[in-house]
């Protein structure tokens, strides 16, 4: 389905060097902030206190969050657990107090607002658990990267595999750079969003790469730059439809999903925007710099030379 069709190829690759330079500077800035400031890890990674409390009636999570914040405890995660009456509270470790003292302090503050609140359980999530979660997360990320490279190398050609994985890592590092620079909380949902962006970004790259391969078969008189420009231009309508709808949904989560979904949706918002950019100006451009050519992709029969503006283009001989 297409909302519109552009009849003249947009020369994306004409300014590819400029955009690649901007990408490189952005990437280096993200790496700098990651090393200089580091990620602000959540309770799952650093360890902390977990409380489960129960109310006699449904309770507003924002009220609980404000109560705990008023005690000077920052980066608190508050969410419903099972029903709207049961609430799970995760808090980072505070200096000068242990887990029992911290939970007692919070329970006293909660009872001041509703004396019928009861404590169901409290436990300390130690740093060892956090280390295991961090290790498992890195393993998952490495498996995703390796799988993407293997898939693209088999389906297309190794130059496309290298270009796509550089573009995908570009997106991931920039997302992490944003979280490091602004010191936003990096939690397991954010890690899940980063992994989702990897798959989402490579999907856009595959669509463009597939069209490039088709164009090499179809337009034998075009050079590589013209082939890539035509491939990107011809998929713009599809990009706007798919990414636009997805971004609207993610923005809805960001604006109306509350504090629990805030950073998850924020990571997806940044990732989708940079995923579109990297598929065009990073992945396709790097493939061009690596010297992708017709002989790398065209095997067997070819199609006759066609006018890319011809509505009947695509007939085989």
In a domain? residue 311:
no
CATH number, domain at 155?
Answer: 1.20.1640.10
Burial of 173 (0-12, 13-18, 19+ CB in 10 A): buried
In a domain? residue 238:
yes
For residue 241, give both structure tokens.
Answer: 């439809």
As for how many domains the chain has, the answer is: 2
pTM attached to this predicted model: 0.79
In a domain? residue 230:
yes
149 & 248 share domain: yes
> Under 8 Å CB-to-CB from 207, ≥6 apart: which residues?
235, 238, 239
Closest CA to 19 of 206, 286, 200: 286
Residue 84 pLDDT:
85
> Under 8 Å CB-to-CB from 83, ≥6 apart: which residues?
none
Q: For residue 196, how far is the Cα from the chain centroid?
A: 5
Q: Where a domain ends, among 74, 90, 125?
A: 125
Alpha helices in 156-187 (DSSP H): 158-182
Count how many residues are written for the chain. Answer: 317
Q: One digit per residue, pLDDT tens: the chain, 317 residues? A: 556 677 788 899 998 899 999 999 999 999 999 999 998 888 877 778 889 999 989 888 889 999 998 888 888 888 887 788 899 898 887 777 778 888 889 999 999 988 889 998 888 877 666 677 778 877 877 887 788 778 877 877 888 888 888 888 899 899 999 999 999 988 888 988 988 888 788 888 888 988 998 998 888 888 999 999 999 998 888 888 888 889 999 999 999 988 878 999 999 999 999 988 898 889 999 999 998 888 776 654 444 455 555 554 544 33
Distance CA 186, CA 39 (A): 7
53 & 164 share domain: no
In a domain? residue 308:
no
Domain limits at 177?
12-39+130-297
151 & 208 share domain: yes
241 & 210 share domain: yes
Distance CA 16, CA 282 (A): 8
Phi then psi for 40, rounded to 5 degrees? -90, 90
19 & 113 share domain: no
Residue 310 pLDDT:
55
98 & 234 share domain: no
Distance CA 142, CA 169 (A): 11
Other C-beta atoms lying within 10 Å of the C-beta of residue 73: 20
27 & 153 share domain: yes
Distance CA 45, CA 56 (A): 32
146 & 21 share domain: yes
77 & 184 share domain: no
Residue 180 pLDDT:
94
Distance CA 172, CA 188 (A): 15
CATH number, domain at 105?
Answer: 3.30.70.3400
In a domain? residue 70:
yes
In a domain? residue 316:
no
Residue 313 pLDDT:
53
209 & 115 share domain: no
In a domain? residue 236:
yes
DSSP annotation of 281 reads I
């Amino acid at each position: 389905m297409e909302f519109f069709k552009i009849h003249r190829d947009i020369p994306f690759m004409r300014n590819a060097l400029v955009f690649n330079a901007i990408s490189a500077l952005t990437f280096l800035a993200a790496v700098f902030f990651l090393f200089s400031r580091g990620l602000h890890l959540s309770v799952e990674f650093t360890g902390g206190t977990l409380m489960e409390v129960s109310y006699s009636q449904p309770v507003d999570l924002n009220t609980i969050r404000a109560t705990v914040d008023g005690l000077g405890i920052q980066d608190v995660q508050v969410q419903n657990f099972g029903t709207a009456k049961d609430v799970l509270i995760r808090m980072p470790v505070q200096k000068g107090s242990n887990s029992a003292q911290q939970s007692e302090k919070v329970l006293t503050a909660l009872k001041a607002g509703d004396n019928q609140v009861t404590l169901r359980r409290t436990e300390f999530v130690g740093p060892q658990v956090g280390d295991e979660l961090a290790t498992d997360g890195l393993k998952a990320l490495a498996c995703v990267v390796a799988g993407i490279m293997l898939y693209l190398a088999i389906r297309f050609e190794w130059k496309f595999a290298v270009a796509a994985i550089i573009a995908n890592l570009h997106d991931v590092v920039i997302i992490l750079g944003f979280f490091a620079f602004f010191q936003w909380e990096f939690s397991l949902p954010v890690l899940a969003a980063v992994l989702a962006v990897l798959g989402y970004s490579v999907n856009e790259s595959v669509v463009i790469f597939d069209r490039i391969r088709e164009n090499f078969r179809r337009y034998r008189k075009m050079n590589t730059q013209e082939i890539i420009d035509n491939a990107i231009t011809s998929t713009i309508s599809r990009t706007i439809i798919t990414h636009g709808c997805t971004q609207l949904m993610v923005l809805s989560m960001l604006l109306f999903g509350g504090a629990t979904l805030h950073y998850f949706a924020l990571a997806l918002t940044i990732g989708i925007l940079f995923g579109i950019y990297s598929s065009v100006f990073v992945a396709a451009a790097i493939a061009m710099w690596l010297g992708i050519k017709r002989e790398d992709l065209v095997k067997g029969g070819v199609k006759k030379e066609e006018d890319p503006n011809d509505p009947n283009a695509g007939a085989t001989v």
